[in-house]
Amino acid sequence: MYDFDVKEFWKENELCFKPFSTDKPRVPISYWLDDHFLLEEMALPSTVRYYTDHKYRLEINKQCNDRVEKVLGRRFYSEDEVEPPAPNRFEVIMGAKWELTEGGTPWLESTVKDIEDVKKLIARAEKLDMRKEAFPENWKEKKEEYERATGRKLKLGGNSSRGPATMATSILGTTNTCLFIMDEPEVMDEFFRILADKLVEYHEALMEDTSNNRIGGYSFADDNCFLFSPSQYERFCAPFLEKIFNRFAPLPEHTRHQHSDSNMAHLMGILNDLGVNSVNFGPDIHPLDIRKAMPRAVIHGQMPPFVLRNGTPEQIIEIVKRDIEAVGGDGGLVECTAGSVAGGTPLENIRVYMWAVHTYGRYR
């Protein structure tokens, strides 16, 4: 039962990404196994060591890839001996700080206490030169060393970031953000304006430094957008998206993607008006409701992560059949978890998920 060639599955899958076309073998599948999944799968004694010791991280990644590949037919984690250097994180430049504690993943925390801190942050941000702020110390040497060692050229910027709502909660704090958009809307207008302006400058600095001239699509990950009402989202977040899309995904054929783990069905009409044409939304939203609200959007979903983690094979298969019956017929479905694959999900359940797509998602 649930027997199929997983290696051939992935080869066929590469032929299936034709948006709004049924001229392909079947519905494609797209999911990722992030560090949360790895930490639970490998039951690591120290998460701090995993994030701070490259040699150890490489060893763990290889061990996890070996384990995953036997069941799922793919290796998901980087095994590069030489890691690419990372620019400074945009949210950190704008005032957030990194936190790393034992047992967790790296996290962004706010240092803002009140609205006066926000005003100071805005004034400081106005003066930032992203050509300097975007790069850590010895960036040029690290970049040249990486490119020399790997033979690969870095190409950075212009394609993705967290969304404005989630950025705000990281920089200002979640409770502060919710209070400030109600009590201090004019200050928050300025905050989101400078956030968008500086994000454009940040991407342009990365693109210039790495000779990256590609303009062709942009992806937002904005889990916390559900905290905003439609009127608040239209006021504070929609202009931000519009500015970024117009700069980095200006043409109709360019991908404008929005991911959110949350139930933000109340914002789908706004996103549709902004030209969002690719989505990965929270598990509480039925795929047919997404299609009605966003007829031109490729739907990446809608497998609930906890069904995939805790469900029976029959329950997993039923969700796949539901998705395909609801929206698979127009060719605009990419079967995917509605969010990431939750830590603790059995590999055998993911294999059942793949089998269901392989079996019930066929166009020919």
**What are 61-85's pLDDT values in tens digits?**
999 999 999 999 999 999 999 999 9
Domain ranges of the chain: 1-30+279-364, 86-276
Which residue blocks in the chain are alpha helix, DSSP H? 6-13, 35-42, 47-52, 54-72, 90-93, 115-126, 130-133, 139-150, 164-172, 174-183, 185-209, 230-232, 238-248, 268-273, 287-293, 305-310, 313-327, 347-360
Phi, psi at 165, each rounded to 5°: -65, -45
Averaged over 80-109, what is the pLDDT? 95
Is 226 a residue whose pLDDT tops 90?
yes
CA nearest to 279, candidates 210, 205, 338, 341: 338
- Please give the CATH topology (third level) of the domain spanning 86-276: TIM Barrel (3.20.20)
Q: How confident is the model at residue 316 (pLDDT cuts 50, 70, 90)?
A: very high
Residue 143 tokens, joined: 């970049």
Is 339 a residue whose pLDDT tops 90?
no
The distance from CA 353 to its chain's CA centroid, rounded to whole angstroms, is 21
CA nearest to 331, candidates 306, 295, 281, 355: 295
Report pLDDT digits (tens) over 273-309: 999 999 999 999 999 999 999 999 999 999 999 999 9
CB 165, CB 181: distance < 8 Å:
no
| Mean pLDDT score across all residues of the chain | 96
Is 350 a residue whose pLDDT tops 80?
yes
Q: Report in angstroms the alpha-carbon separations of 4 from 15, 32, 358.
A: 18, 20, 9
pTM of the entire predicted model: 0.95
Supply the DSSP symbol for 73.
S
- pLDDT-above-70 percentage for the chain: 100
Bridge partners for 263 per DSSP: none
Is 42 a residue whose pLDDT tops 80?
yes
Is 33 a residue whose pLDDT tops 80?
yes
Is 237 a residue whose pLDDT tops 90?
yes
What residue type is assigned to position 158 of the chain?
Answer: G
